C-alpha cells in the first residue's frame, strides 16, 4: 500500500457506524479513485530540499521559484531599519480589522505605493491572497447582466469569482482565440449594454503554457471588453525586474486589471491588483473579499516591501530558473516523456491516468524527489500529471540526478510504457 496513504489515513469507517456516514462514503470513493487529498507535514531545509516524514527530498514541488530565503531570521534587521525609517516605533503583527475599519496600516499604504511604481500603473490594491483577489475582483467587475470569457484551464479561484458574480460564464478551450472571438461576438451583438470581461492566467499553473496576451488585448479592444490577467506564476519571474508577462510583452498599460500573487516567486503571502486609480477606488467599494476580510498583517506588508526590492534585483535567479526548467524539460523529452506545450519554468509530465500519476509520484518519492501527482478536478479528466517546478537555487547536478531518478522510478514500474510517447 502507498506509504503516504498509511501515514495520514483519515479514519475511514467502511461499516458506516460513524456520525457522518456520507462523508465516510465520499472519502472512501475518493480513495478508490486515487483522488484522496491528504496533508503531509513538510519542513524546508537548505539547498532546495524539504524534509518529509524523516526523509530529505529534492523539492520540485513548490512555487518558490526564485528560492529567496524562507527564514524570518534573515530579515529581522532589515525590518527594524524599515520601521525606524518610517518613523514608527513598532510594527503591528496583526491588523485587528479590515482595511476599511481600522486595519489600514502605514505599511499597507507604503507597500501599495511601492508596488504601483514597480508595476508602472496608477494604483495598486493589496489583498490577503490571490484567491481573495481573483474572487473579489471578478465579483466586483461583473454582475448578473454581464458575461465572463474564461480560458478552460484558468485557476479555480477565477471560476469561483465568476460563480459569485452571477455573470454568464463562457469557457473557451485553452488559448483558442477563434472560439473566444465567436463567443464574444455573438454575446456582444445580443447584449449591447452588458459588460464583458475576458480573464486569463498569464502562465497556466498546471501546464506551464503562456496566454496569448497580444491577441487577447486586440480582442478586448475590438469588442469593448475588459481584460484581467492573473500573473500568479509570472510576477517575479518574467519581465524586466520581474514585472510580469504583460510587462514583458509591453502590454501592462492596456490590461485593465493585473493580479499578482506574493506567495509564489515572492515567497511570502498575499496578492495585489494593479490598475487605473478609478478601478482601485471601485474595488475598494465593491470587492467583497476586500471589504469583509481582515487586512493583511502589517508585519507581512513590511516583509513584502523588503522582498519587493529583493525580487527586482534577482535577474540572475530568473535566468537560472529558466535554464533549470529547460534542462529538466529537455532531459525528460529526450527520454520520450510528454511535457506538454509550455516552455516556462513549470514542467508538467503528462501521465493521463490518476493511478499511474500517484504511482509515479510515490516511486520518485522513494528516490528522494518531491514531485506531486496532480489529478482531477485540478486538471481535466485523464490528464493527471506530475508537476515539476525547479528553483533558481537548485544546481544542474541536482536536476540531472532528479531526472535520472525520475526515469528509473518510472522504469521500475511507477507507470506503464504508455506514458512514454516514443
Ligand atoms: C493561477 C493562480 N491564480 C491564483 C492563485 C491563488 O493564489 P493564492 O495562493 O495566493 O491564494 C493560484 C494559486 O495556486 C494560482 O495558481
Q: Which of 64, 108, 233, 345 is catalytic?
A: 233
Query: Separation of 259 CA from ligand 1 center, angstroms?
Result: 10
63, 65, 205, best to mutate for ligand 1 pocket (most atoms within 8 Å of CB): 205
Query: Separation of 272 CA from ligand 1 center, angstroms?
Result: 12
CA-nearest residue, atom 5 of ligand 1: 130
Nearest to 212 by CA among 153, 290, 134: 153
Tens-place pLDDT, residues 287-305: 999 999 999 999 999 999 9
Atom of ligand 1 nearest to the CA of 261: 10
Residues 6+ apart with CB under 8 A from 271: 126, 127, 128, 129, 130, 132, 133, 232, 259, 260, 261, 262, 263
Query: Separation of 273 CA from ligand 1 center, angstroms?
Result: 13
Tens-place pLDDT, residues 395-413: 999 999 999 988 887 765 5
Identify the pLDDT of residue 14.
56
Pairing mode of beta strands 271-275, 123-127: antiparallel
CA–CA separation, 64 and 267 (whole Å) = 6
Identify the pLDDT of residue 247.
98
Annotated catalytic residue 205: yes
Annotated catalytic residue 18: no
Identify the pLDDT of residue 18.
81
Residues 6+ apart with CB under 8 A from 68: 266, 267, 307, 310, 311, 314, 317
Q: Is the CB of 49 under 6 A from ligand 1?
A: no
Q: Is the CB of 207 under 6 A from ligand 1?
A: no
Nearest to 272 by CA among 284, 260, 289, 287: 260
Query: Separation of 341 CA from ligand 1 center, angstroms?
Result: 21
Check if the beta carbon of residue 228 is closer than 8 Å to that of residue 256. yes
Which stretch of DSSP H or E encloses residue 388? strand 384-388
Identify the pLDDT of residue 273.
98
Annotated catalytic residue 155: no
Atom of ligand 1 nearest to the CA of 271: 10
CA-nearest residue, atom 10 of ligand 1: 130
- The list of the chain residues with pLDDT below 70 reads 1-17, 411-422
Identify the pLDDT of residue 11.
55
Query: Separation of 308 CA from ligand 1 center, angstroms?
Result: 18
Tell me, rounded to whole angstroms, the distance of Cα 275 from its chain centroid.
20
Check if the beta carbon of residue 219 is closer than 8 Å to that of residue 225. yes
Identify the pLDDT of residue 47.
93
As given in the structure block, the three cell numbers for residue 348 are: 508538467
Q: Is the CB of 155 under 6 A from ligand 1?
A: yes
CA–CA separation, 198 and 184 (whole Å) = 9
Q: Which of 205, 234, 317, 344 is catalytic?
A: 205
Which stretch of DSSP H or E encloses residue 138? helix 130-141
261, 273, 379, best to mutate for ligand 1 pocket (most atoms within 8 Å of CB): 261
Atom of ligand 1 nearest to the CA of 132: 11
Contacts of 81-87 with CB under 8 Å at 24 or more apart are 82/302, 82/305, 82/306, 83/302, 86/110
Query: Separation of 311 CA from ligand 1 center, angstroms?
Result: 18
Q: Is the CB of 62 under 6 A from ligand 1?
A: no
Q: Which of 220, 252, 264, 345 is catalytic?
A: 264
CA–CA separation, 5 and 90 (whole Å) = 46
Query: Separation of 166 CA from ligand 1 center, angstroms?
Result: 21
Q: Is the CB of 112 under 6 A from ligand 1?
A: no
Check if the beta carbon of residue 352 is closer than 8 Å to that of residue 383. yes
Identify the pLDDT of residue 3.
41
Buried b vs exposed e over 4-24: b needs ≥16 C-beta within 10 Å? beeeeeeeebeeeeeeeeeeb
Burial environment of residue 285 by CB neighbours within 10 A (0 to 12, 13 to 18, 19 or more): exposed
Atom of ligand 1 nearest to the CA of 131: 11
Identify the pLDDT of residue 406.
87
Pairing mode of beta strands 257-261, 271-275: antiparallel
Tens-place pLDDT, residues 200-210: 999 999 999 99
Q: Is the CB of 131 under 6 A from ligand 1?
A: yes
Amino acid at each position: 500500500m502507498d506509504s503516504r496513504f498509511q501515514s495520514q489515513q483519515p479514519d475511514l469507517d467502511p461499516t458506516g457506524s460513524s456520525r457522518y456516514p456520507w462523508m465516510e462514503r465520499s472519502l472512501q470513493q475518493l480513495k478508490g479513485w486515487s483522488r484522496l487529498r491528504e496533508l503531509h507535514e513538510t519542513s524546508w531545509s537548505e539547498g532546495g530540499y524539504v524534509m518529509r516524514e524523516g526523509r530529505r527530498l529534492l523539492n520540485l514541488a513548490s512555487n518558490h521559484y526564485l528560492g529567496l530565503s524562507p527564514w524570518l531570521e534573515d530579515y529581522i534587521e532589515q525590518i527594524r531599519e524599515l520601521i525606524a525609517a518610517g518613523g514608527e516605533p513598532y510594527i503591528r503583527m496583526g491588523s485587528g480589522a479590515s482595511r476599511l475599519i481600522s486595519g489600514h496600516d502605514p505599511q499597507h499604504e507604503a507597500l501599495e505605493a511601492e508596488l504601483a511604481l514597480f508595476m508602472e500603473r496608477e494604483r495598486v490594491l493589496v489583498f490577503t491572497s490571490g484567491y481573495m483577489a481573483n474572487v473579489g475582483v471578478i465579483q466586483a467587475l461583473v454582475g448578473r447582466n454581464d458575461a465572463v470569457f474564461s480560458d478552460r484551464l484558468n485557476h479555480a479561484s477565477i471560476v469561483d469569482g465568476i460563480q459569485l458574480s452571477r455573470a454568464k460564464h463562457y469557457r473557451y478551450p485553452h488559448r483558442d482565440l477563434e472560439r473566444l472571438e465567436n463567443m464574444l461576438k455573438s454575446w456582444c451583438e445580443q447584449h449591447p449594454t452588458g459588460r464583458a470581461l475576458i480573464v486569463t492566467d498569464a502562465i497556466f499553473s498546471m501546464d506551464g503554457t503562456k496566454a496569448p496576451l497580444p491577441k487577447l488585448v486586440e480582442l478586448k479592444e475590438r469588442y469593448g471588453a475588459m481584460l484581467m490577467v492573473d500573473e500568479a506564476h509570472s510576477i517575479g519571474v518574467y519581465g524586466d525586474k520581474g514585472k510580469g508577462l504583460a510587462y514583458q510583452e509591453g502590454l501592462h498599460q492596456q490590461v485593465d486589471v493585473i493580479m499578482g500573487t506574493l506567495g509564489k516567486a515572492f515567497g511570502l503571502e498575499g496578492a495585489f491588483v494593479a490598475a487605473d486609480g478609478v478601478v482601485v477606488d471601485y474595488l475598494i467599494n465593491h470587492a467583497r473579499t476586500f471589504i469583509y476580510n481582515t487586512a493583511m498583517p502589517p508585519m507581512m506588508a513590511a516583509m513584502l516591501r523588503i522582498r519587493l526590492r529583493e525580487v527586482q534585483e534577482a535577474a540572475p535567479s530568473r535566468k537560472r530558473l529558466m535554464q533549470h526548467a529547460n534542462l529538466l524539460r529537455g532531459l525528460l523529452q529526450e527520454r520520450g516523456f510528454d511535457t506538454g506545450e509550455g516552455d516556462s519554468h513549470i514542467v508538467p509530465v503528462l501521465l493521463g491516468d490518476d493511478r499511474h500519476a500517484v504511482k509515479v509520484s510515490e516511486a520518485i518519492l522513494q528516490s528522494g524527489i518531491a514531485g506531486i501527482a496532480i489529478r482531477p478536478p485540478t486538471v481535466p479528466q485523464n490528464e493527471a500529471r506530475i508537476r515539476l517546478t525547479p528553483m533558481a537555487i537548485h544546481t544542474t547536478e541536482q536536476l540531472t540526478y532528479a531526472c535520472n531518478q525520475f526515469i528509473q522510478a518510472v522504469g521500475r514500474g511507477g507507470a506503464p510504457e504508455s506514458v512514454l510517447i516514443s
